[in-house]
Structure 1
Amino acid sequence: MKPNFFDMTVHDVDKAREFFGNVFDWSFEKLESADRYYLIKAGPDSEDGINGGIGVVGGARIAEGRPLTQVTIPVTDLESYIAKVKSAGGYVLEPRLAISGVGWYATCAEPGGLIFGLLQADPDAA
């Protein structure tokens, strides 16, 4: 399974948006269901790569006050992948939570501590 999303947490969202917009020509769309969080359009759909999101450090408990980038991997059954993570020696940092209109999400880490997200699509998640 390929990652399909990246997420960045930063201290100053407005400055970071300006920076990445100027450097990479990314565009941003406010996500209405989240405070100070924007979806990132990192290029045209015809271009290789993935899109992402950017929000404030304080809004991401796992960031522990530091800027952070993580990837999200789409899964068909979140609970079974959480079980696979645990049985392979990894751990769950944030258990299953709903992202309204998007799906069910969990933050995990591999045994060495590298953080990644799992997302089961479900437009009815609330």
Structure 2
Amino acid sequence: MASSGKDRRIDYIEFNVSDIARARQFYGEAFGWTFTDYGPSYCEFSDGGLKGGFTTEGKVGSGGPLIILFADDLADTLRQVEKAGGQIVKPVFTFPGGRRFHFADPDGYELAVWSDK
């Protein structure tokens, strides 16, 4: 069987959210994601490389795996996250290979953004 090129890669992520419009606004403003609506309780998002969805069908909560996004300009991305309503929960810090910060989205999910610069 031929490999699809996606074997063992993250293919899709779903967030349980309390308000799809708010999630769309936040991720659209902060990261420029695009969206496709599939009814009142589901919206698919695309970051240009990965797709996922927002749903109101499950329990909203934090925890689980940490999703880390990449940024060419970490400072600009941090400003965009704050402007869109995200809360910085770990300010920018260095680690071997780069720098990153953590933020909470409007539903309390913690994500991180890193840069190699």
How high is the TM-score relative to the length of structure 1? Answer: 0.44
How high is the TM-score relative to the length of structure 2? Answer: 0.47
